[in-house]
Amino acid sequence: MRAVFLLLAAALTLYSETFKLYLKDGSYQVTREYQVESDRIRYFSTERGEWEEIPKDLIDLEKTERERKAKNDVLVKEARDQDEEDRALRAQQKEIAAIPMNPGAYYKQEQKVAALPSADYQIITDKKRKALQVLSPVPLVPGKASVVIKGEHSAFQVRDERPDFYVRLAKEERFGIVSLTSKKNFRVVENISIAPVVNVAYEDRKLMETFEQDLGNGLFKVWPEKPLPPGEYALVEFSDSQDKEDIELFIWDFARPPGA
């Protein structure tokens, strides 16, 4: 039905536009309509603004119609492309309207958008494993540390190979999908190296290759470039300030279970 509509729209457009009525001597008359009447061609001359007649034998109808068809095909393609663009724009506007204005991460599943629960993280060092038992990060000293989430598996599971996530930022920061390393009783989000003397923090995380789309008003859509293998992951918002006193992350963990 849509194809018929597009064809009709293109035909109406073509009818209102001018085309060349070719003569066999190579010249042409510009018109927007012509009629075959016995041995004569009656056409509307757009140059003179009136109907005129010319012997049919002088007209190259084959060339005229060939070019009209080529022009019509172009119009149909343009109408189809515009229709697809309009539908994509309407779908995107509907998509954006479904995302809450509150900063955070969201996941679209079965045409429904739900807020992702944020994960509490902790920072541990080789010398202070007991930090796993406290609720707030420990002060960082020169050496190495790790940002971890309690538990070996995320309670939130995603079955899509290339899931669509949305991040609404409260301020301008970086974000991405990170592959987590599972250890006994926790998952490692990133490792941190604190350089001595200068006390600069270098954060190392396993960022996956992703596509990102800016949807405006601090809202971004992010999804993997390639299918995600089964495993533990997290959507992470970070700043990479290299300030050891400013290790601040927003983490939303998820898992792709085996056989998903």
Give the tens place of pLDDT for each residue, 44-69: 999 999 999 999 999 999 999 999 99
Q: Give whole-number Cα distances, 119 to 19, 86, 111, 114, in Å.
A: 65, 38, 24, 15
Q: Give Cα 38 distance to the centre of its chain.
A: 58
Rounded to whole angstroms, how far apart are CA atoms 145 and 141? Answer: 9
**pLDDT reported for residue 3:** 47
**The model scores a pTM over 0.75:** no
**Mean pLDDT over all residues of the chain?**
82
**Mean per-residue pLDDT for 226-242?**
85
180 contacts 226 by C-beta, under 8 angstroms: no
**pLDDT reported for residue 43:** 94
For tokens 């509509």, the residue is: 5
Give the tens place of pLDDT for each residue, 174-193: 899 999 998 888 999 988 77
Containing 147, the helix (H) or strand (E) segment is strand 143-150
Torsion angles phi and psi, residue 156, rounded to 5: -95, 120
Rounded to whole angstroms, how far apart are CA atoms 107 and 30? Answer: 57
Torsion angles phi and psi, residue 149, rounded to 5: -115, 135
- Token readout for 125 is 């060092």
Q: Where are the domains of the chain?
A: 2-97, 104-256
Reduce the DSSP state of residue 126 to 3 states and report it.
Answer: coil
- Token readout for 89 is 């724009």
29-43, 88-102, 186-200: segment of lowest average pLDDT: 186-200
10 dihedral zone (left: phi>0; alpha: psi -120 to 50; beta): alpha
Q: Which has the higher per-residue pLDDT, 73 or 193?
A: 73
